[in-house]
Amino acid sequence: DRQALIDFMKFADPQNRILQWNVSSLNPCTDQNAWQGVNCKKPVIGRVTFLELENLDLPGTIAPNTLSRLDQLRVLRLINVSLSGPIPPDLSSCIHLKQLILLGNKLTGNIPASLGTLAILDRLSLRNNQLEGEIPRELSSLQELQTLRLDYNSLTGPIPDMLFPKMTDFGVSHNRLTGSIPKSLASTSPTSFAGNDLCGPPTNNSCPPLPSPSSPENAHSEPRSSESDKLSLPSIIIIVVFSLAIVVFICLLLMFYLRRGNPDDKNKLVTHKSKSPEKKDGGEVQSIDSASMQFPEQRGSVEGEAGRLIFAAEDNQHSFGLKELLRASAEMLVPKGTVGTTYKAVLGEGVVFAVKRLIDRNLTEKAEFEKQLALVGRLKHPNLVPLVAYYYYAQEEKLLVYDYLPNKSLYTRLHANRGTNERELLAWPDRLQIAYGVAQGLAFLHRECPTMPHGNLKSTNVVFDGNGQACIADFGLLPFASVQNGPQASDGYRAPEMFVAKKVTHKADVYSFGVMLLELLTGRVAARQGSSVDLPRWVNSTVREEWTAEVFDYELVTYRRNSEEEMVYLLRIALDCVASNPEQRPKMAQVVKLIEDIK
């Protein structure tokens, strides 16, 4: 093993200026301080099982017949060490290899097909290199593979049909791949294929239809015509009459619709189309067409029997009333979610508010509703979306009016347009500030409302004000969630105990916040539809196998050298927050102080 390492060094760092290995040391396993990155961990005592080098500037290559002689090697991690040249095919001689991580180098040439013989390999990451050629079909033999990352290379051709039963992390984005995506990979995130010329699910690109085969007989035969090819006169008359009947029916239907939708009706909000990208709960970002925001006919005065528009602030500065609100034009911002549908309402004076049409699954009575909303209205904090007013018409008809924050949600800023030129990168300092702001807002809620958790914290419920400050939305609405169906926290953010006890606590909020931190760190969605592995479980398994560098969002790679220590510290906080045992999770006040230590 010692000689194999020395031979590797001769080609990777000929002058030994970077590695600074003490080659005079006779045994790398007994004098590990002399051999940077070399480890002789179990299960084989006295043999090199780990070689892990990271963030170095090695001037050379990985020469054949060097590392391949480390026949007890379990983990080979050469991350951001500037190595160039091809990947030696003889690495397949390391038959005990479980992790092969060569990301962030300058490796060229093809991916060796021989890697497909590494039967117990569970992690293969070659991303951010200069590899060319096609993806070897032989990789489909790696049935233990959990991670395959080939992003940011120059790979060409189609993706071979590969079925990995244990796969949790797949990516081939930003290559030159073409053709249709295999059905076996259709449930993978669309961002895994971004930056290629690929079609088919899960992307939105439809594959062109395959040309229908023509037999030689049909290809050369003359077109035939016969009397049977022509429509008879009675058939033509029937078709014309039937078509006219359909046209008349459509016209009558249109007239009926226009009469119902008369703009003179007082209490309907005019609707428009929204081109703003947003998200449905648990789904991908998409364009949303606004739906009509209509209310029952108001009986009596604006503040009559049905209820009145109540402003949250005692020193109300707003001059509009219920009548102006109900006549406002409406543009849907967020479609029907856990607690209702949110609209952008533009009043006659050009004043804009966000109006939520509340889904009250418990049919709360008027007095209880107004008592709860009065409490919510008193909660004022820079990291909370302020409630402006509320309105009770009936048990099933309630409106909440908030300040309109024009900037995108955290979900959109993290996940929208990845792999496209329209992508707006979210830098590490901004992510850390967002984490701090949300932590402060949630800690304030827990302090001011000891018995009322948020219950539905997620990245779509974090929006940004005009100064870029992160603000929590939808707080104080848990009493209106369904009691029969249990807590309404979205999948992916839901604490494990909520599936059993069906009760939301502050500790469950801490879990949801921890998932959001993992979103900020990894750039991954909290839960992908059809996936059995949630984000906390994936991060825990990756960190447990000492593969922490692969956890972080690749968009943060430019900050890694200067800020990786901060990222790792925030990752530890996140993992504490998503502990399975609620009693082991910190309080939000403690989390705020821990994040302050990073800043």
Domain identity same for 336 and 448: no
Asked if the model's pLDDT at residue 511 lies above 60, the reply is: yes
| DSSP E strands, 161-205 | 169-171, 176-180, 197-199
**pLDDT for the residue 345:** 82
In this structure, is residue 221 part of a structural domain? Answer: no
Say which residue, 423 or 180, is predicted with more confidence. Answer: 180
Which among 534, 525, 398, 510 is positioned nearest to 443, based on CA atoms? Answer: 510
Residue 417 CA to chain centroid, in angstroms? Answer: 11
126 with 68, same domain: the answer is yes
Q: Comparing 262 with 439, which gets the higher pLDDT?
A: 439
**More confident call, 167 vs 528:** 167
Q: Give alpha helix (H) positions in 185-232.
A: 216-220
The three state secondary structure string of 73-121 is: CCEEEEECCCCEEECCHHHHHCCCCCEEECCCCEEEECCCHHHHHCCCC
Q: How confident is the model at residue 46 (pLDDT cuts 50, 70, 90)?
A: confident
Are 559 and 479 in the same domain? yes
589 sits in which H/E element? helix 588-598
Structure tokens at 174: 């930003």
3-23 tens-digit pLDDT: 999 999 999 998 888 888 888
Residue 471 has pLDDT above 90, yes or no: yes
Beta bridge partners of 389: 311, 401
Is the confidence at residue 553, as pLDDT, over 90? no
Residues 390 and 422 in one domain: no
Alpha helices per DSSP H over 546-586: 557-577
Which pLDDT score, from 0 to 100, does residue 159 have? 93
**Beta-carbon count within 10 A of 204 CB:** 10
Residue 592 domain-assigned?
yes
**Among 224-228, 378-382, 389-393, which is the least confidently predicted range?**
224-228
Q: Higher pLDDT residue, 89 or 46?
A: 89
> Residues with Cβ < 8 Å from 117, sequence gap 6 or more?
92, 95, 138, 141
- Cβ neighbours, 10 Å, residue 92: 18
For residue 256, the tally of other CB atoms under 10 A from its CB is: 10
pLDDT of residue 192: 86
Looking at residues 48-63, what average pLDDT do you find? 90
pLDDT of the residue at 558 = 62
- 252: in domain: no
CATH code for position 71 = 3.80.10.10
Domain of 555: which CATH number?
1.10.510.10
195 and 280, same domain (yes or no): no
* Residue 85, pLDDT score: 95
Instruction: Return d(Cα 175, Cα 156) in angstroms, integer.
Output: 7
Least confident of 235-249, 291-305, 396-410: 291-305
**Can you read off the two tokens belonging to residue 519?**
């979103």
Least trusted range by pLDDT, from 101-115, 158-172, 416-430:
416-430
Tokens of 475: 């707080």
- The residue out of 381, 403, 425 marking a domain boundary is 403
Q: Is residue 215 part of a domain?
A: no
Residue 452's identity, in one-letter code, is: M
pLDDT score at 222 = 44
Q: What is the mean pLDDT of residues 90-114?
A: 93
Same domain, 380 and 421: no
According to the model, what pLDDT value does residue 334 have?
Answer: 67
Residue 485 has pLDDT above 70, yes or no: no
More confident residue, 91 or 166: 91
Confidence category of residue 356, pLDDT binned at 50, 70, 90: confident
Domain of 180, in residue numbers: 2-199
31, part of any domain: yes
Q: Which residue has the higher pLDDT, 547 or 477?
A: 477
Domain end residue (candidates: 403, 430, 453): 403
Burial label, 345 (beta-carbon count in 10 A; 0-12, 13-18, 19+): buried
Please state whether the predicted TM-score (pTM) of the whole model is above 0.85: no
Least confident interval from 79-93, 110-124, 286-300, 447-461: 286-300
pLDDT at 371: 86
The runs of H, that is alpha helices, within 186-317 are 216-220, 233-260
pLDDT computed for residue 179 by the predictor: 92
pLDDT band for position 264 (50/70/90)?
A: very low
309, part of any domain: yes
For residues 186 and 277, membership in a common domain is answered with no
Instruction: Inform me whether the pLDDT recorded for 180 exceeds 90.
Output: yes
Measured distance CA(104)–CA(557) in Å, rounded:
9
My answer on whether 274 and 383 are in the same domain is yes
Residue 215 pLDDT greater than 60, yes or no: no
> What pLDDT score does 546 carry?
61
The answer on 529 and 437 residing in a single domain is: yes
Residue 251 CA to residue 256 CA, distance in Å, equals 9
Question: Distance (Å, rounded) from C-alpha 212 to C-alpha 430?
Answer: 53
Coil, strand, or helix at residue 66? coil
Asked if residue 380 and residue 423 are part of one domain, the reply reads no
What local confidence, expressed as pLDDT, does residue 499 receive? 76
The mean per-residue pLDDT over the stretch 482-488 comes to 47
DSSP result, 477-498: -GGGS-STT---PPTTT--TTH
Picking from 179, 199, 219, the residue at the C-terminal end of a domain is 199
User: Where is average pLDDT lowest: 149-153, 268-272, 460-464?
Assistant: 268-272
Asked whether residue 500 falls in the same domain as residue 431, the answer is yes
- Residue 243 in any domain: the answer is no
* Mean pLDDT estimate for the chain: 79
- Higher per-residue pLDDT: 254 or 448: 448
* pLDDT level of residue 125 (50, 70, 90 thresholds): very high
- Most confident option among 210-214, 281-285, 524-528: 524-528
Distance (Å, rounded) from C-alpha 325 to C-alpha 327?
5
The more confidently predicted of residues 211 and 376 is 376
CATH code, 290: 3.30.200.20
Give the pLDDT of residue 337.
63
Answer yes or no: are the C-beta atoms of 268 and 292 closer than 8 Å: yes
Which of these ranges, 75-79, 154-158, 346-350, has the smallest mean pLDDT?
A: 346-350
548 vs 263, higher pLDDT: 548
User: Is the pLDDT score of 217 beyond 60?
Assistant: no
Assess if residue 287 is contained within a domain.
yes
181 in the same domain as 133: yes
Q: Residue 201: pLDDT above 70?
A: yes
- Are the CB atoms for 203 and 223 separated by under 8 Å? no
For residue 242, give every residue at least 6 positions away whose Cβ sits within 8 Å of its Cβ, in sequence order, or none.
Answer: none
pLDDT at 88: 95
Number of domains in the chain: 3
CA angle 439, 443, 446 (to 5 degrees): 145
